[in-house]
Structure formats: structure tokens, C-alpha cells
Structure 1
């Protein structure tokens, strides 16, 4: 009887151990490549926070490398990650799609994830935020709060879908709104961004949407000093000044990284280009300024909920 009981207990222990092993599934170790730094308090920091969430949830080792801004340095980093046993690598930007397309065939045991690019190989995935609606709702808030009927988008590049979204949202809220659009031509050119922001303010724009994660913080500080308003970008930036930041258009990169790691762990991560929006709970508006009326905030929340249900933006 004792031997039988011992065998049963041993089997249960083994089953329990197998269950624990299965919770980590295919995920072994995770790597992150960022083009600049993880200390920018916006885009890079969100990627780093995503790694911490993965580490906490799956109890796996995570690694990151900064300044990964060319094919050569990326190849060296991937080789190092592979030697450490990393089997899921995030490239934190659109440029990594091309890098990963070029080298992923040499590492079939690794899955490569990039942003806003075109993933072409079976072990590559590109995550794309559907930013049009994000910009649309930001534009509605900007136009509602503008006292001059002049709002402005300060973008990095013309291809950003949030630009057209902001324009349409502003006009949907206020037919009399005039939307200025300027392009920095770079994610990180703070000097040019501040110069363009000053030009907007001089022309009567009183709400600016700095849609570039590398320059939006200094632009917010510049606008704050002149008593105008901004719509924050990528992160909830209300902590930079509740009387300046009316709300923020948030891309919850850290949450998306956790979702992707879970899909990979479960063997369900698809290759190719995947899109995410409000409905996936990885895009949202941030905290509203106390200057925005509660009635208007209530209306905005209803319109966002309706968009999440129907996929249709307000007219």
C-alpha cells in the first residue's frame, strides 16, 4: 500500500512539474533591440517596460541592446542573442522589418518581431498600430478646446496615419477649425521640431499635436512656456502639466509586447503583418486635463466605445 501511494504521489509530482514547464511553453529567452535608448521616457522606455512585463509573467531572462541602428550592428546583436538562447526578438521600430527580413532565414529557431513594417518570412512578424482613429479622437479634443479655431500637427513623416486622423477629427468636432500640418522629417530632431512649433504658435495655433516620440517632450515644454495646449503622444503625458496636456493618444506598447509573447508561448503567433486598434485594448486616450469639461469627456468616452463596437468613427 505504501509503495502504491508513493508511486501515485510521485506521478502527481511529475505531472505538476510538467504543468509548470508547459506554462513557459516555447518561450525561452527574449531580446529587445532599440535604435536609440530605453531612457527616452516615451517609445524606447515603453519597449523596455514591455520586456519587464514579459520577464515577470513568464519568468524568463530578457536582454536589450541600445543604439541598434544599422544592419551590421543588428546582425552582431542577433548572433549574440542566439548564443544566449534567445528565441523571440523584438526590434523596436519600423527599420527592423527590413533588417529581420534579411537575416531571419539564418535563424529559423528565432521569431523576429518588428513595428510598422512589412514582415516577409515565416519567422517574422510586424506589429502595426492602426493610428488613424487615435489621431481622430485627439483631433476632436484639440478642436473642442481651441480658442482660436487653429490647431496643428507636428509630425515626423507624412506616412503617419494619425495625421489624417487628427485632421478629420478636428473638422468633425468643429467645421470652422483650421489644421496646420508640419513635418520634422525625423523622429529625433528636437531643434527643428521646436522651431516649427514656435512658427505654429506665432500663427495663432493654440493646440499642438507633436506626433513624434523623440521630440514631443521638448515641444510640450516649449508650448507650456507659452500658455498653449498639447495632445500627448504614445505615452500618457499628463504628468508634464495637466494645464497643458489636454489628453494623450496612447499606444500601449508594453501591453502589446506581453500579448505577443503570450501568443508565441502558446504557439499562436502569426507571421506577416498584424494590426491593432482600440478594440484590442492597446490604443486609448489618456488622462484628461481638468480644463476639459466632464460632459465632453463623457461624450468622448461614448464615441470611443461606439467605435470599438462598430469600427465606425463619428461624422
Structure 2
């Protein structure tokens, strides 16, 4: 490995997902004693080509695309850069020198649903999602119904990771309809919804990173995706000549996903139940309703 570059669809500073990617990039630089570079707001194929050409001038031979949008772009241009390897996240495109890393988010959504179903007092919980395709949505529904068949699940999605204004409006509507536990599975708007839940005396579940700092009692737990670890894993594999063009999936079994510590408001019995479920899933790959 020479040097490493990262492309971001938005900016580093305003999103937990981007911040964790940037953390992973910097850890590569420190661990492998290599130079790292990044480009923000790269959204079109033309912008990708321009950025990659600049990376090449800096001696970069491993390029990360910190979004699913880069899958098609990378496979389109990969043959023109045979000495580079491209890695991106959560997509179905791959080629000889393009690798997709995917989080199997179904189970983490299931555990978020179980906890929401256990903690709701109104039997109304809500998931404010970015996109309809997110695997955690189905998992959340299954988890809620497994734990609390009487509970109703409200779902809205924004078709945007960062539309805080619309997400806030959705939160207000759900709150007025009696929802008292929220799972905001987006980027920039996740912390805003948690903050509003804290002000209103409701609960929330954090997303991608441990968001308990927003409200230690409010945040029942967080479903963490350790994308920074996958950056290190990719760099290590590439450095050893073992990174193949492929679609790779990561889950609890790979220490790529985990639950954060529980809020003190979560009864000990429920904490134990969730921990047992996670341990069993990690060992068997089966959720409780699949066993």
C-alpha cells in the first residue's frame, strides 16, 4: 500500500457516518505510516474521475468511497485504473479491483425493535428512516412484533440521509399520535430527533454511533456500525495482497456491529434479555423467531 484516499458524498463534519469514516481513514494513516487524502461533496462520476486522478498524483493506490453511490461509478472507471483498488459501502457492484463492504443491518434493527417494544408505554413506536431499502427497517418491525405484538409501528422515510427539517416534522407528527420510542435511522437528523425526544420525555435508539451523549437516559441503546474497523480491515487485506473484488458482508459475528451500553432506565431484566439474544445470534446466526 502506498497512500490512501477517501471520497465523501457530503462533508465530514456534519454526520456521524462521515465522521466515523474519517476516523477510520486517519487510523490507517497512523497504523500503516502512510499519507491519507479526502475529497468532500463528490456526487457525480465526473467529480469522481477528477478526484481519483488527483489521488493518483499523490501516489494513492487504495480509494474508499464512503457511500453506496460510488459502486456504479467505481465499476465504470475501474478498468482505467488497474493499479488502484476501490472500496465502497452497502452496494451490489463489484469487479476485479472494486470491493463492496456491506453491513447486515437486519439483526441490529431487530434488537432495536425488541427494546422499543419492551419500553413503550403507549404501544406506539416509530422508525424515521432515510431510505425504504434499509435492512434495519424490516428487522425493526420483526423485533417489535416479537416482543410486543400489541405495539403499532409507525414508519416514515425521507429519501435523504440528512433532511433534518423533514425528519423533525415527522417526529412531531408521530409524537402527537402517541409515539414514545423513536429509532432515527439516518445521518445528520438522528441526533436532532434524539434531542427532541429528550425534551419531550420520550425515548430513542441511537444509530451508527453511540449517541448516549445526546441524552444518557433518553438513548436506550445505540445500534453501532463500526465502519472505522472496516477501513482498517480493508487496508490490512490490501497491504497483504488479499483484498479481492467481491461483495463482503459484516455483522455482529465480525465485531462490525454492536449494541452500545443501555440507559439506566432500561430494566435489568430487559438488558439481560437483549444481551442473551445478541449472544445467541452471534453464536448461531439465528434471531429468536428463526430458531
TM-score interval (norm. to shorter): over 0.9
Alignment partner for residue 264 of structure 1, among 224, 234, 238?
A: 238
**Matched residue SS, 2:204:** strand
What is the rounded CA distance, in whole Å, between the counterparts of 1:147 and 1:45 in structure 2?
34
Q: 2:257 matched to 1:283?
A: yes
Task: Give the structure 1 partner of residue 120 of structure 2.
Answer: 146
Moved more, 292-301 or 67-76: 292-301
Alignment partner for residue 98 of structure 2, among 124, 131, 144?
A: 124
Task: Give the structure 1 partner of residue 78 of structure 2.
Answer: 104
**1:31-180 superposed matches below 5 A:** 31-180=5-154
CA RMSD of aligned residues (A): 1.0
Task: Give the structure 2 partner of residue 205 of structure 1.
Answer: 179
Moved more, 198-207 or 116-125: 116-125
Judge conservation of contact 2:94–2:100 (CA < 8 Å) in 1: no
Alignment partner for residue 232 of structure 1, among 206, 225, 234?
A: 206
What is the rounded CA distance, in whole Å, between the counterparts of 1:37 and 1:293 in structure 2?
38
Judge conservation of contact 2:15–2:188 (CA < 8 Å) in 1: no
Alignment partner for residue 306 of structure 1, among 270, 280, 284?
A: 280
- TM-superposition CA deviations, 1:86-145 (whole Å, max 9, x none): 010000000000111111111000000111112232000011100000100011111111
Structure 1 residue 219 displacement after superposition:
1.5
Report which of the two structures shows the higher radius of gyration computed on alpha carbons. 1
Task: Give the structure 2 partner of residue 292 of structure 1.
Answer: 266
- Number of aligned residue pairs: 289
- TM-superposition CA deviations, 1:4-26 (whole Å, max 9, x none): xxxxxxxxxxxxxxxxxxxxxxx
What is the rounded CA distance, in whole Å, between the counterparts of 1:295 and 1:30 in structure 2?
46
Unaligned stretches of 5+ residues in structure 1: 1-26
What is the rounded CA distance, in whole Å, between the counterparts of 2:61 and 2:268 in structure 1?
47
Unaligned stretches of 5+ residues in structure 2: none
**Matched residue SS, 2:36:** strand
**Matched residue SS, 2:288:** coil
Task: Give the structure 2 partner of residue 255 of structure 1.
Answer: 229
Judge conservation of contact 1:118–1:272 (CA < 8 Å) in 2: no
Judge conservation of contact 1:119–1:271 (CA < 8 Å) in 2: no
**1:190-201 superposed matches below 5 A:** 190-201=164-175
- TM-superposition CA deviations, 1:274-311 (whole Å, max 9, x none): 11110000100112111012232122111101101101
What is the rounded CA distance, in whole Å, between the counterparts of 1:94 and 1:44 in structure 2?
13
Structure 1 residue 41 displacement after superposition:
4.4
Task: Give the structure 2 partner of residue 7 of structure 1.
Answer: none
What is the rounded CA distance, in whole Å, between the counterparts of 1:118 and 1:217 in structure 2?
29
